[in-house]
Amino acid sequence: MDPRSVDWAAIPGPKWYSPQCVAEAFRALMRTTWADQDPGAGIRSAVGNDHAGTLYPAAVVGTDVLLHIISTCPGAPRNAALHILLDWWGCFQPEPGFEAYTDQDGHRVEIIPTIMQRLEQAADTMRVIAEHDTQARGLVRELLRSLDRGWIVEEPSP
């Protein structure tokens, strides 16, 4: 899925959601190299609040773009996309007031269950990638284990 083909402005979000930045953040991710320090920062900030650990509705379609990058862009972009999903997993929650939204087709979309469903649908492709890409293998396996456990939010230790 080409991030430029998405109408990011049609996806609701809080006042600090900047749809004009999302496609560029994904294009930058697709150009990432092993030398880049934190290639996922742009995505985490474009479709969520990285500091608050929240996801905006755009993270749902963003998951589709990340899965496309994982499937088609081996090397640093694939690994960065895997890291983003792992960063989100169980640590990020929907932005308050944006736990669900109505998409352009009028369907109600719940953020976390839909992200999990999209990953579940891509599990077979991810397993094939893990078989053939030694650089991504560990990350893919960790993501699939996380999927099996569910979106468990770990409480901080006292």
Q: How confident is the model over 49-56, as a mean pLDDT? A: 93
* Residue-wise pLDDT tens digits, 31-46: 999 888 888 899 999 9
Dihedral angle, C-alpha 35, 29, 90, 146, nearest 10 ° = -80
Q: What is the pTM of this model?
A: 0.93
H/E element, 100: strand 100-102
The pairing of beta strand 54-55 with beta strand 93-94: parallel
* Residue-wise pLDDT tens digits, 80-130: 999 999 999 989 999 999 999 998 889 999 999 999 999 999 999 999 999
3-class secondary-structure state, position 101: strand
